[in-house]
Structure 1
Amino acid sequence: MRSRADRPAAPDPAAPAVVAAHAASKGRYGSRKIKASLERSGVTVSRRRVCRIMRENGLVSAYGRKRFKVHPGAVNEADVPNVVARGFGGRAPRTHICSDLLALI
């Protein structure tokens, strides 16, 4: 075995398809989406094999940063009347009933 010369590994036949799918997605697709796009085009390849080919060719998927989503609408727009009107001075029992606002809506 030591006297045998090491043969270079044969290139993977799926490598050009993976590189082309990554280039077609403008570098956005990762291994899962590349696998799905190759399956749609008729090439059967495992996700781990796609990962290995991407690693060997230095391909990395592009991903953006998570951004804050603005939710429209202001606070306290509920049409619930203000019955208490901050009059907490009531001494008689059961004159002021307090509850969760979400339970009233």
Structure 2
Amino acid sequence: LYAAESATRAPLVRWLLADEVGLGKTVEACLILNHLLRTGRADRTLVVAPETLTVQWLGELWRKYHQVFVLLDDKRLADVEKDYGPGFNPFDAHRRVVLG
């Protein structure tokens, strides 16, 4: 939890959590993210995870922290282009994104 505590105290949070498998990176990242969202310090949020873990991330964010994120996959990108036009920034349409 040292990383989570340190990250939430930093004036600008841009951290890479890269511990060994099973050491709680997801929990740590969710704690940091939840704190930043609840205190208004995160306007846009991008979670980059291996494609095989994107659905797990969406589930964790919703079940444990009641945060709604969008999976930015090829279908969603096509929907953004259809709805907003070519060249529109998908991160302007979706402020909380999980990307694989």
Q: TM-score, normalised by structure 2?
A: 0.26
Higher-strand-fraction structure? 2
Q: Which has the larger radius of gyration?
A: 1
Q: TM-score, normalised by structure 1?
A: 0.25
Query: Which fold has the larger relative contact order, with Cα–Cα distance below 8 Å and residues 6 or more apart in sequence?
Result: 2
